[in-house]
Amino acid sequence: MRRAVRAALALAAVGGGGCDAGPERGTEDGVAPPVVRAEPVVGTVMPAAGAAAEFVLADTHGRPYDFLEETRGSVAMLFFGFTNCPDVCPVHLANLAAVLDQLPSRISRQVTVVFVTVDPERDTPERVREWLDGFDRDFVGLIGDAERVHDIQLGLGLPPAVVRRDGEGAVDVGHASHVMVFSRERDRRWVYPFGTRQSDWARDIPRLVEGVPTATAEES
């Protein structure tokens, strides 16, 4: 329901002319400007990440992975989670994998999904690789020390994950459930909450890849 309301608001914003130069709006010389229609997306627009997105962590092969450099030219989807997560993480990744599998390759090959573990103590590179391969072998897994990952999340405006261990070995992990999406030019980014459906991704990813101007309810 909330998504429907947001979509309706976004549509209303678009229809209301907030982001739309409609064809009926002529210019003084009588030539109509090109129509640039902002498409509603589920994700919420956030300010550009700037230097916060400049980080380097180790990938699952132990090589340094410069996030900005390696994902240059593609839409990057960044997600912080852990492999023992019973709900949010596998659902997000399974949905992304399913949709990317169905989209035309000219779209899907311009998307890079990057998973950063917030539980490096248990998530070894091998464990992360094996887990990600269960969804999509092209998904990138990154591992860094907990403090560094904490700082990256803070810098990106995400609540940092909290990992609690009790005396009996039980581990409780709380983490942001958002997928952060960076435009190809890195000038825009969006956060997609848990609850984003495959149908949402299937509609939004081509728009994000093709650089279609987007609007969200928050912008209206």
Token pair belonging to 79: 């997600």
Which 162-201 residues touch another protein, going by CB under 8 A? 194-195, 197-199
Q: How many CB atoms lie within 10 A of CB 33?
A: 11
Determine the interface stretch with another protein among 6-14, 17-25, 51-59, 82-90 (rule: CB under 8 A): 82-90
Q: Which is nearer to another protein, 21 or 94 (CB)?
A: 94
Q: Which is nearer to another protein, 28 or 168 (CB)?
A: 168
- Please state, in angstroms and rounded to a whole number, the distance separating the CA atoms of residues 172 and 157: 22
Q: Which is nearer to another protein, 92 or 129 (CB)?
A: 92
Smallest gap from Cβ 46 to another protein, in A, equals 23
Which amino acid belongs to residue 3?
R
Smallest gap from Cβ 149 to another protein, in A, equals 24
DSSP 8-state class, residue 25: -
Determine the interface stretch with another protein among 69-77, 92-100, 124-132, 167-175 (rule: CB under 8 A): 92-100
* Binding residue for another protein, selected from 202, 212, 218, 219, defined by CB under 8 A: 202
7 binds another protein (CB under 8 A): no
Long-range contacts from 127-130, C-beta under 8 angstroms, 24+ separation: 127/83, 128/60, 128/83, 129/60, 129/61
H helix intervals, the chain:
2-15, 67-70, 88-102, 105-108, 125-133, 146-156, 198-209
Q: Are 199 and 188 in contact (CB under 8 A)?
A: no
Footprint of another protein on this chain (CB under 8 A)?
1, 86-87, 90-91, 94-95, 98-99, 102, 194-195, 197-199, 202
